[in-house]
A and B are shown apart, each in its own frame.
Chain A
């Protein structure tokens, strides 16, 4: 099992460009999450999904969109990148809601917006 994988690992964007980050998991997990990690701020939830075809906003959703067309994939889109979106992005998945189960994280995507 590969667990949770993320592509790409690194990306540099110019302000105003768009991109999509892909997260895939092979553990048949229902729940998937996108976080961003900035120095001194821990992990902040951007969007999450409790099942195929459903998504919900997290703590910092502005400027991002997501889609969960297939159970194993969770896509994070930036329509018009801004320097404030420079961060490390982590995807995670869990068996059910985090009330009961641990979250498994992917290796992260380091995004720089110039």
Chain B
């Protein structure tokens, strides 16, 4: 079936270090969304990428969508303790639109002050 794989599953960094999570799909995606879930909270939408090769920035966060629209990454520069949480990518497949997003397993980020 259609799958979205996300790595790493966990990442521990020192405050101020950079962090990257990667998302790979077995099929071409029409778009990809990123969500953040704080501990004990619910997923909150961060951004959507639609175009091949698209790069978007939100302050210290940089999101990329691969040229083949099968992979994506989220990079955080100079992490802060407020970045703690689980980051999910979620892709919508290009064919057979049934209104479903496929979520990756998530990357849990811990930041040591």
Contacts and interface: CB of A to CB of B under 8 A. Distances in A.
Interface of A: 31, 35, 40-45, 48, 50, 56, 58-59, 90, 92, 97-100, 102-108
B41 to A, nearest CB: 8
A97 B9 contact: no
Given A42-B6, A42-B106, A98-B33, A103 B42 contact: no
B105 interface: yes
Interface of B: 6, 9, 30-31, 33, 41-45, 48, 88, 90, 92, 97-106
Given A99-B92, A104-B45, A41 B98 contact: no
Contacts, number: 59
Contact of A108 (B30, B42, B44, B90): B42
Contact of A98 (B6, B43, B92): B92
Contacts of B33: 98, 102-103
Contacts of B98: 56
Contacts of A103: 33, 43, 45, 101
A43 B87 CA distance: 12
Given A42-B103, A42-B105, A105-B43, 11 more contacts: A42-B106, A56-B98, A90-B42, A98-B90, A98-B100, A99-B31, A99-B92, A103-B33, A104-B45, A107-B41, A108-B42
Contacts of B48: 102
Contact of A106 (B42, B45, B97, B102): B42
